[in-house]
Amino acid sequence: MKIHRDGLGTIAAIWVVCAGLMFLALFFIPWAGVSFPIAALLLFFMVFVFFFFRVPERETVEGDNVVTSVADGEVVIIDRVYEDEYVKGECIQVSVYMDFFNVHVNFWPVSGEITYYKYHPGKYLLAFLPKASELNEHTSVAVRNRFGDVFFKQLAGTFARRIVCYAKVGETCTKADQCGIIKFGSRIDMYLPLDSEIKVKVGDDVRACETVIAELRK
């Protein structure tokens, strides 16, 4: 199993803290009925953190007009909205919420040229709340190909305090390559042209690279 390079520092820090707490619990708490469960919980958390930063092997869906999911998770919003940062007009918003157990590595949804990137500091509301899209810390990225623009945001959540994004304006990206990672619970908002054919519905579980979110029309 591969581990995301941007998670190695977090894993190391958490392991050091947990190992120290396990030592204290096992050597300074004289009651085995207390110290052993504490040590077991800490060990479980260490394994979970390691598992959290896994990078899956994925096959993608071909087609320049095919938009795949940026992240694993559950579709929580599909709505017609006015997007005023990049699109500056009406579009279709599709949001995917990632819980603690989802893969949190993010992948490019289409191939094309990166035309926009911006980091926004902000709050840390629960990521599934609609207002999180506007108020939470997030990055904004746009990719353009011959079928149009795909604009998306990586949103921090209550426990997500670090967003990593590899977007650089002017460079080209390839669908299904890694575009970043959000550490701990978070959300992806995708903004698609109004004439896009949406292929998912609210409540669907989706997988990055493999689930088709929409098809663009030329």
- Of 188, 179, 192, the residue nearest 160 (C-alpha): 188
192, HSE (Cβ side, Cα atoms, 13 Å): 32
The DSSP 8-state label assigned to residue 69 in this structure reads P
Rounded to whole angstroms, how far apart are CA atoms 144 and 172?
A: 9
**Is 69 assigned a catalytic role?**
no
C-alpha dist (Å) from residue 15 to 8, 46, 85, 136: 10, 6, 40, 28
Question: What is the C-alpha separation between 69 and 160, in angstroms, rounded?
Answer: 20
d(CA 112, CA 67): 12
- How far apart CA 48 and CA 86 sit, in angstroms, is 37
- The string of DSSP letters for 125-183 reads --TTSTTHHHHB-EEEEEEEETTEEEEEEEEE-SS---EEE---TT-EE-TTSEEEEE-
CB 197 within 8 A of CB 215: yes
Catalytically annotated residue among 95, 133, 140, 186: 186
Active site (catalytic) residues: 186
